[in-house]
Structure 1
Amino acid sequence: MSTVTYDIVQKLWNLCNVLKDDGVTYHQYVTELTYLLFLKMAKETGTEDQIPKGYRWDDLERKAASDRLEHYKLALIHLGSHGATLVKEIFGNASSFIKKPATLSTLVAEIDKLDWYSARQEGLGDLYEGLLEKNANEKKSGAGQYFTSRKLIDSMVALMKPSLEDVIQDPAAGTGGFLIAANHYIREQGDPDLWTESQQRKYRRGTFYGMEHVQDTHRLALMNLMLHGLESDPEGAGIRYGDTLSQEGEALPKATLILTNPPFGTKKGGGLPTRTDFTFPTSNKQFCFVQHIYRGLKPGGRAAVVLPDNVLFEGNTGKQIRADLMDKCNLHTILRLPTGIFYAQGVKTNVLFFTRGEKDKGNTKEVWVYDLRANMPQFGKRTLLTREHFAEFEMAFGKDPLGSPKSLAKRKDTGEEGRFRRFTREWIAERGESLDITWLKNEGNGAGDELPEPTVLAREALAELEGAFDELRGLLAELGEDVEEVEA
């Protein structure tokens, strides 16, 4: 992020103090600012024709201070059903939490004073992305769960090598970080001005797909994509508002590349997803998303997915899903991530890299595990995660995004003293299909020597209990019992 962008982001974030004084919660900060920024940025980029006359930035600014708030609240309702598709999606069911007319007047005046010329030169997408990151790092906002570290995303994208020929999907899109990074990578690899007309059409209408279940987050994603030049297409491309674990998810097109960080935990309100195409019903959201991902890949398609540790070791349904994944796909690499890089500081996560086979059986012959967790610092505000932290892993991974047998043969097993090791499919089967593989011990003052916070321990205990309940539900289902009736 450039100094200019950083300064503007800081000024925008400081406006949150104005909202806070009016009783607006941390959770609502960026959503509230997004409504105003959309109107202002449409004026700055000359795209106001998509907004109905009478409801644009200048119309808001011209209103008397005493009438401005009432006009603004009516405008939000009006824009939710009028104007271009993008406008209606961003303002769908929109409402303002601002109570005082003076608060809105201050926001309008301060946003108008920003150095918009420099912001345009630097890139409005970078500015908005910076604001999202700032919000995600503020624990009280609760937004971190929708924001994956951009350093991790960039590493995953670089290894998966997206191209113009790909159909790229993120079924848990959040604010759109994976799709934006993939787009950036594609445009860097070649000159978009040299693309043919059919390539341009494919790029705009058939490359980037996603789904987000939380409407406020969906708004942020649409705004983020728009400012990075990725507007949603009425024919289906872009990020849709919907539940991937319902039949809406079945409508997502088969992909050649899936990049995602699915939400952790169980399905909201309990119960099973309403998907009809899952072989293994479970209330565990990660296992549902894992099924969606490997079933949603075209033969030869590849995926890089962030998943918590419990996905690697949970029994019963989890064991069946892992076995099915390794049958249908070549699960060639697991990266054990350091702690502290997600909103739930103690959560232990991994990246699974796999490629869908041409056939549905026996695709995984060996799994390589890279341990980037042992003897690593506890990342957070004091110790920042950088792209350099992934450099050795990227070198060890190699240049083949598919993990073909030929490329795996070139890898070096570093033995028990090193971070990168190879494990055969037979060895994994013998240990009950568990992929929770460790061999390095934390030494000295590594993060592993620190006692986790009580909240972290509580989360881990809850995850284990949820896994146990999931197994019991599966057992009851196998015995022909009505699970819902038992739970009631």
Structure 2
Amino acid sequence: MNPISNDIIARLWNLCNVLKDDGVTYHQYVTELTYLLFFKMAKETGTEGQIPKGHRWDNLIAKPKLERLEAYKITLIHLGTHGEQIVKEIFSNASSFIKKPATLSALVEGIDKLAWYNAGREDLGDIYEGLLEKSANEKKSGAGQYFTTRSLIDSLVTVMKPTLDDLIQDPAAGTGGFLIAANHYIREHQNPENWNKNQLEKYRTRTFFGMEHVQDTHRLALMNLFLHGIDFNPDAGGVHYGDTLSPDGQKLPGATLILSNPPFGSKKGGGLPERTDLPYPTSNKQFCFLQHIYRGLKPGGRAAVVLPDNALFEGNIGKQIRADLMDKCNLHTILRLPTGIFYAQGVKTCVIFFTKGHTDQGNTKEVWVYDLRANMPQYGKRTLLTRNHFSEFETAFGDDPLGRPEALSRRRDDTGITNRFRRFSREWIAQHNDNLDISWLKDESEELPEPGVLAREVMEELEGALEELREIMEELGEEVEV
């Protein structure tokens, strides 16, 4: 990111100090800023035509300071039902957290003074992503639940190699990080200046698809994609507002590439998802999303999915889902991620990489596991996880995003205990009860976790055990109280 963009991000973030006396949280601040930045950036990018007259940036600036807050709140309500589709989506059910006219005026005037004329359209997108990242790094905001670290996203996109021919989906889109990174990759590797009219139309409206069920987060995703030149069409591409684990998710089109970090944990109350097309119903959200993902791929399509480790070893329905996945897809690679890179510090995570087969049986022949966790630091605010930490993994992964046999044959399997990359046959995995939580390195750096982390891990294990007991009782025909 260039120095101008970094300076604007820092100045915008400093404006949040204005809101402290109004009791506005960091996450609320970014949502509030999204409304104001949409007006300002629509003016800067020459796209104000999609906002009704009388409700644009200059109209807000022209209002007397004492009248500005009331006019702003009226505008938020008005735009929820007027203007172009993206305007109505971003401002759907919008309301302001600001209580004092002086607070809004300080924000508006602070934004107006920034040197926007030095920032290009792509810079505006980077500026907005920078704000989202700052919000995610604030523990008090809780934003880390939907923000995946950019270094990990960029690494996964690099090995998955998206192209303009792909239909790319994220069924748990959050703020759109995976889709934006895929967009960056495509534009860097396929010069947009060489695209014809049909390619440009396909890129803008039928390349990027996603779904997000938290409305405020959905706004952030739409704004993010808007600033990166990706259109929202209610009948086509963009991030749609809805619950993937409800019938909404069945509306997402079949994809050739899925990149996602689905939410972890169980559905509240232990209830089952509303989707009726998932063959293995469970209250475990990551298993439900995983089924959506591998069933939603077109034959030959590929996926990289971030999951908690328990998806690799839980029994009963978890085992059945893993077996079904390995039948229908070539699950060729698992990346064991370092600890401390997500909001819930005690959650151990991995990434699984797979390609949908052209038949439904026997597609996984071997699984390669890369251990980036053992003998690695505890990442967090003090020790940042950077793109360089993934460089050896990317080299070991190779240049084939589909993990085809000829590419896997070129991988190096050193069975020595210091090597991070090892191969395991499908037969070996079956002999070990389809348990994919495979490790072989002795972790010399492992320290005793904090009490809160230990408590969280115990709770997750108990929740998993209770889920298995519920499923056993249901199979026996016993009524289960929720």
Query: Which band: TM-score by shorter chain?
Result: over 0.9
Structure 1 partner of 2:454: 457
What residue identity is the alignment partner of 2:299?
P
Task: Name the counterpart of 2:126.
Answer: 126
State whether residues 15 and 107 of structure 2, in contact with CA within 8 Å, keep that contact through their aligned partners in structure 1: yes
Q: 1:121: Cα distance to partner?
A: 6.9
Asked if structure 1 preserves the Cα contact closer than 8 Å seen for 2:77 and 2:91, the reply is yes
Q: Distance in 1 between matches of 2:14 and 2:55?
A: 26
- Separation in 2, partners of 1:159, 1:232: 27
Please list every run of 5 or more consecutive structure 2 residues that lacks an aligned counterpart in the other structure.
none
**Counterpart of 1:201?**
201
- Distance in 2, matches of 1:454 and 1:236, equals 47
What amino acid sits opposite 2:48 in the alignment?
A: E
CA shift for structure 1 position 96:
0.5
Whether 1:438 aligns to 2:439 is yes
1:426 CA drift (Å): 1.2
Pairs within 5 Å for 1:57-456: 57-120=57-120, 123-415=123-415, 416-443=417-444, 446=445, 448=446, 450-456=447-453
Q: Does residue 468 of structure 2 align to residue 468 of structure 1? A: no
Which of the numbers 468, 477, 482 marks the counterpart of 1:480? Answer: 477
SS in 2 for 1:83: coil
Q: Report if aligned partners of 1:204, 1:233 keep a CA contact under 8 Å in 2.
A: no
**SS at the partner of 1:272?**
coil
Q: How many residues end up aligned between the 2 structures?
A: 481
2:456 counterpart letter in structure 1: R
Q: Any unmatched runs of 5+ in structure 1?
A: none
2:120 alignment partner, SS class: helix
Take 1:280 and 1:238, find their aligned partners in 2: how far apart are those partners?
29
Q: Deviations over 1:190-249 (max 9, x none)?
A: 221211222222222221100001000000000000001112123220100000000000
Cα deviation per residue 1:151-187 (whole Å; 9 max; x = unaligned)?
A: 1111101101111111110000000011111111111
Q: CA deviation at 1:460?
A: 1.2
| One-letter amino acid matched to 1:420 | F
- In structure 2, the partner of 1:10 is 10
Contact 1:4 1:122 in 2 (8 A): no
Q: CA deviation at 1:128?
A: 0.3
| In structure 2, distance between residues paired with 1:120 and 1:397 | 35
Task: Give the Cα–Cα distance (whole angstroms) in 1 for the partners of residues 119 and 144 of structure 2.
Answer: 25
Per-residue deviation, 1:270: 3.2
- 1:175·1:220 contact (CA, 8 Å) conserved in 2? yes
Q: TM-score, normalised by structure 1?
A: 0.97
Amino acid at match of 1:30: V
* Structure 1 residue ranges (4+ consecutive) displaced by more than 2 angstroms after TM superposition: 119-122
Give the superposition deviation at 1:472. 1.2
Give the distance between the partners of 2:2 and 2:347, measured in 1 at CA: 31
| 2:69 alignment partner, SS class | helix
Matched position secondary structure for 1:123: helix
Asked whether the 8 Å contact 1:164–1:186 carries over to 2, the reply is yes
Tell me if the contact between 2:212 and 2:241 (Cα under 8 Å) persists in the aligned partners. yes
**How far apart, CA to CA, are the structure 2 residues paired with 1:185 and 1:145?**
25
Q: Contact 1:172 / 1:262 at 8 angstroms: preserved in 2? A: yes
Percent of aligned positions that are identical: 74
Task: Please say if residues 340 and 379 of structure 1, whose CA atoms lie closer than 8 Å, have aligned partners that are also in contact.
Answer: yes
2:232 maps to amino acid:
S
TM-score by length of structure 2 reads 0.98
